[in-house]
């Protein structure tokens, strides 16, 4: 099948319009003018109905694209509204938000299909661009690629597989643009006012974002990754046949992936990501020591991105084998999600208020209490015990687990990328369990359930309490912490929630007795903050250093 005919592959059949019900560009414009955008639900329904009508009839390419131009802004506005409503929502989404996200994805998908039909009709009957229409057809290809890319983006936001045909349409639009000689034709960028883009650029952006492993990103990180990739995607190489980098089977309905030596075919493209990685490296190399953000050049200005996050994006481009060998597994684990739940189980099933009182009492009785006052740590009771979930282990390694969350009735796991989790071997409720600590690194919604990738931080941990002392010397509100074993003498490694006060210089810390070592009693003391590392959207690892003068001054 040639590139021109591929534009229709998988698209709905069209019917010649009935004369009495002929819909033209003016009819679409008039219908959009009265869409109640102040009522998003009603507006989305009416816009989708218009898109269905546009898709169902045979038009001339020019008229279809002129009609679609009236739909771009309303669809963009409605999709932004849905994205705003999702915010930092955990997954799986509540039914209402799931329906909104699915609707936004459908709107983008139908726009992409309509653009592909417009390109096909414009170049009928044999796929030749009409005289003086080169730039218009190039713009239509760019619009189709952009909306197909947005369709993929909505799938990533839901940690779900893309809709059937999305990648096939993306490959088909680029193949036609390449064959027609308009892949590098510059047209106005619909996403950046005053900037230009081309079909090749938009296609590369979609490939590079997919290669970055978007299931590993939180909602905010996905936006940052998309913005960073727009700055460097043009540098990537893309050529037919076997070459360096990732393989892209342009004849399939799939994105870039590792392809074995004997799997390359005539439809395979080689995506060389090395130039984009070099651009990142060169920008980072120019930074002064200790700089945390890098400025990437983009049309109309610069894009500021955290250096650590850039490395996180690049990690998905590597096709090398995993750093840990993976083993198949078939057992179950109990799972708790979030700092509140993890601290509760590590503390032996008591709330934070009870934990703090108990540790202070033990530290005072044992002569290891160095704080001026224990009463200043008074906190309220937490209420109900957090839920303990179950998950089936699909495979595992020294570095973590791939899990399928079990769903008990209507109650399922609510997770976000970057969430802290506790893992323990499933046991009777009366049995004492050893809890491991990990982070959610990726999510994927599948028919078989929620699939979760967990990076293991440590196989043992201890509940702790932390009271930061601000730069002005005033202690702040006590908060939960989890201690990870650290081989350094007079040093602590603590996990805390992301709301930790970054300007704190010191912190009061309470630690219970270590059950596995009678030489480590309960203690309460003052520690100096030595560093903070963001591990995820909801987790920070602190390094604290013991100071003899700090302890003496607090006595």
Full set of structural domains in the chain with CATH:
3-211 (no CATH), 327-349+385-458 (2.40.10.220), 462-554 (2.40.10)
Query: In sequence order, which ranges of 286-338 are alpha helices (DSSP H)?
Result: 307-315
Rounded distance between C-alpha atoms, residue 67 and residue 110, angstroms:
14
The pLDDT score that the predictor gives to residue 60 is 79
Question: What do you get for the CA distance between the two ends of the chain, in Å?
Answer: 81
Are the C-beta atoms of 478 and 464 separated by less than 8 Å? no
Rounded distance between C-alpha atoms, residue 36 and residue 517, angstroms:
67
Alpha-carbon dihedral sign for residues 401, 416, 466, 544: positive
Please tell me whether residue 253 adopts helix, strand or coil conformation: coil
Rounded distance between C-alpha atoms, residue 3 and residue 181, angstroms:
12
The pLDDT score that the predictor gives to residue 367 is 85
* Both structure tokens of 103: 């609707």
Segments of 189-255 assigned E as strands: 196-197, 237-240, 246-249
Please tell me whether residue 309 adopts helix, strand or coil conformation: helix
What lies within 8 Å, CB to CB, of 317 at 6+ separation is 208, 211, 212, 246, 273, 276, 277
Strand partners, 479: 466
Please tell me whether residue 357 adopts helix, strand or coil conformation: helix
The pLDDT score that the predictor gives to residue 410 is 45
Task: Give the length of the chain.
Answer: 555
The pLDDT score that the predictor gives to residue 204 is 97
Rounded distance between C-alpha atoms, residue 69 and residue 198, angstroms:
18
The pLDDT score that the predictor gives to residue 428 is 59
The pLDDT score that the predictor gives to residue 15 is 67
Total-model pTM: 0.80
Residues of the chain with confidence (pLDDT) below 70: 1, 15-22, 88, 243, 258-263, 319-326, 383, 408-413, 428-431, 488, 547-555
The pLDDT score that the predictor gives to residue 370 is 82
The pLDDT score that the predictor gives to residue 555 is 35
């Amino acid at each position: 099948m040639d590139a021109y005919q591929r534009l229709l592959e998988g698209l709905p059949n069209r019917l010649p319009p009935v004369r009495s019900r002929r819909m033209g560009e003016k009819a679409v414009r008039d219908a959009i003018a009265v869409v109640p955008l102040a009522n998003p639900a009603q507006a989305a329904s009416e816009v989708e109905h218009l898109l269905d009508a546009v898709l169902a009839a045979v038009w001339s390419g020019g008229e279809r694209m002129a009609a679609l131009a009236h739909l771009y802004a309303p669809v963009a506005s409605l999709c932004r509204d849905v994205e705003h409503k999702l915010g930092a929502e955990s997954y799986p989404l509540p039914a209402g938000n799931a329906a909104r996200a699915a609707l936004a994805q459908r709107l983008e998908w139908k726009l992409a299909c309509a653009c592909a039909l417009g390109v096909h009709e414009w170049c009928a009957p044999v796929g030749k661009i009409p005289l003086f229409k080169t730039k218009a057809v190039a713009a239509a290809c760019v619009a189709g690629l952009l909306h197909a890319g947005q369709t993929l983006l909505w799938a990533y936001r839901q940690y779900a597989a893309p809709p059937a045909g999305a990648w096939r349409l993306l490959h088909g639009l680029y193949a036609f643009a390449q064959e027609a000689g308009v892949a590098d034709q510059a047209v106005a960028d619909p996403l950046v006012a005053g900037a230009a883009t081309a079909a090749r650029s938009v296609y590369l952006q979609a490939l590079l974002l997919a290669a970055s492993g978007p299931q590993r990103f939180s909602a905010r990180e996905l936006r940052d990754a998309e913005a960073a990739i727009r700055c460097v995607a043009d540098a990537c190489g893309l050529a037919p046949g076997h070459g360096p980098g990732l393989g892209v089977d342009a004849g399939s309905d799939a994105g870039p992936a590792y392809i074995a030596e004997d799997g390359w075919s005539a439809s395979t493209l080689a995506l060389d990501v090395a130039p984009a990685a070099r651009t990142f490296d060169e920008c980072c190399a120019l930074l002064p020591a200790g700089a945390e953000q890098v400025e990437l050049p983009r049309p109309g200005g610069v894009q500021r991105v955290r250096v650590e996050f850039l490395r996180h994006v690049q990690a998905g481009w590597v096709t090398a084998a995993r750093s840990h060998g993976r083993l198949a597994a078939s057992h179950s684990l109990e799972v708790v999600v979030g700092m509140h739940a993890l601290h509760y189980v590590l503390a032996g099933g008591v709330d934070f208020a009870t934990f703090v009182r108990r540790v202070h009492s033990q530290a005072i009785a044992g002569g290891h209490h160095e704080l001026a006052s224990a009463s200043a740590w008074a906190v309220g009771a937490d209420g109900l015990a957090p839920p303990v979930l179950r998950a089936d282990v699909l495979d595992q390694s020294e570095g973590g687990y791939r899990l399928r969350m079990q769903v008990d009735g209507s109650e399922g796991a609510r997770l976000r990328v970057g969430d802290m989790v506790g893992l323990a071997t499933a046991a009777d409720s009366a049995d004492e369990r050893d809890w491991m600590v990990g982070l959610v690194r990726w999510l994927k919604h599948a028919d078989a359930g929620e699939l979760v990738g967990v990076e293991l931080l440590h196989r043992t941990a201890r509940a702790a309490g932390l009271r930061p002392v601000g730069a002005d010397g005033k202690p702040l509100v006590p908060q939960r912490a989890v201690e990870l074993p650290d081989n350094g003498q007079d040093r602590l490694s603590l996990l805390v929630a992301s709301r930790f006060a970054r300007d704190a210089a010191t912190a009061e810390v309470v630690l219970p007795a270590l059950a596995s070592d009678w030489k480590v009693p309960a203690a309460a003391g003052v520690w100096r903050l030595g560093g903070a590392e963001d591990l995820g959207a909801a987790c920070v690892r602190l390094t604290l250093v013991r100071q003899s003068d700090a302890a003496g001054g607090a006595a």
